[in-house]
Amino acid sequence: MSIDWLVPAILTIVTAATPLVFAAVGETVVEKAGVLNLGVEGMMIMGAIAAFATAVSTGSEVLAILAGAAAGLLLSLIFGVLCVYLQSNQVATGLALTIFGLGLSALIGHSYVGATFDGLAKLDIPGVSDIPTIGPLIFGHDVLVYLSVISVALVAWFLNSTRAGLLVRAVGENHDAAHSIGYSVMLVRMGAILFGGAMAGIGGAYLSVAYTPLWVENMTAGRGWIALALVVFASWKPWRAFFGAYLFGGITIIQLYAQGMGVEVSAQFLSMLPYLATILVLVVISRDSAKARLNAPACLGKNFHVSG
């Protein structure tokens, strides 16, 4: 048995993980600011249709990605207005957002079923991309893959090393305190929600312009929920979310390769693993109240009233 398949397998894992990275890292920022947006799936699917429609009609990859981000952002704007300013329940609003996104994308996408588009080009640096093994592994991806890594680094740096990041975390940990020293909790949360929306939109765009360049209804197929689970699995740390995405993506892909090689694995068991792992992490971090305080933002899911 040769290992010729190993490099392509890793490339496939990268494409499987990238949409999860975008969505999970975006949601990490949202949750760090104390907001639980369960609408990731809906924002992703809107990103997917917006990007695909733009790609088909304009042929521009850059515009497609921007459209994906914009669609996710617009949907999250609805969520933000409802939850931050109108104090609606975050869980219910998030779920509604997902259902709304799935329905609206199907409506918009009706005429795009069956349309085709070449897909996002892979980076091709003459000479460098042709180096065996290392070439394709490091220089053979599409631009969004690199952007996903950069965004993780930026978000990690932003949250941990900047004053603005500290403010986001402060709002998520104790919104009353942040408010009492004069910061606008609502504005910070709104910003975080919009960022999360745009990132989920890009994650969705990745699905429809790079991963499987086509539009079919419900094509996110639950990836938004995996991204939500990842945030908890990663205990709200961007780099952990990044590696978690590769782990989750990796398990799915390796299982497919294993089947092709005749190794017996239970596909059902493996597809539930991400969620099982998330539950385990939740159990571990909730068992110890000191640890829990270090991880979950204390105000996660709680609405903020100025009067309150």
Partner 1 sequence: MHFKSGFGGAVALAVAAFGLSTAAEAQMKVGFVYVGPIGDHGWNYQHHQGLLELKKALGSKVTTTHVEKVPENADATRVITKLASTGHNLIFTTSFGYMNPTNKVAKRFPKVTFEHATGYKRLSPNVSTYSARFYEGRYVAGKIVGKMTKTNTIGYVASFPIPEVIRGINATYLSAKSVNPKIKIKVVWVSTWYDPGKEADAAKALIDQGADVIMQHTDSPAPLQVAEKRGVYAVGQASDMRNFGKKAHLTAIVNNWAPYYVARTKAVMDGNWQQQNTWHGFKEGMVKMAPYNSAIPADVVKLAEDTRKGIIAGTIHPFEGEIRDQAGKVRIPAGKRADDGLMAGMNFYVQGIDGTIPK
Compose the 157-176 pattern: x for residues touching partner 1 by CB under 8 A, - for all others. Answer: --------------------
Q: Does 102 bind partner 1 (CB under 8 A)?
A: yes
Site for partner 1 (CB under 8 A): which residue of 127, 181, 260, 283? Answer: 260
Here the tokens at position 85 are: 């300013």
Tell me if 34 sits within 8 A of 171, measured CB to CB.
Answer: yes
What is the nearest approach in angstroms of partner 1 to the Cβ of residue 5? 4
Cα–Cα distance, 252 to 203 (Å, whole number):
18
Return the half-sphere exposure (C-beta side, CA atoms, 13 A cut-off) of residue 254.
9
Residue list 177-236, contact with partner 1 (CB under 8 A): 207, 211-214, 216-219, 221-223
Q: Does 268 bind partner 1 (CB under 8 A)?
A: yes
Q: How many chain residues are in contact with partner 1, going by CB under 8 A?
A: 43
Among 116, 101, 37, 77, which Cα is nearest to 300's? 37
Using alpha carbons, list the distances in angstroms from residue 256 to 222, 249, 250, 308. 18, 11, 10, 52
Q: Does 113 bind partner 1 (CB under 8 A)?
A: yes
| Residue 224: CB atoms within 10 Å | 28
Q: Does 289 bind partner 1 (CB under 8 A)?
A: no
Our separate counts of H helices and E strands in the chain read: 13, 0
Q: Does 256 bind partner 1 (CB under 8 A)?
A: yes
Binding site for partner 1 (CB under 8 A): 4-5, 8-9, 12, 16, 95, 98-99, 102-103, 106, 109-110, 113-114, 116, 119, 207, 211-214, 216-219, 221-223, 252-253, 256-257, 259-262, 264, 266-268, 271
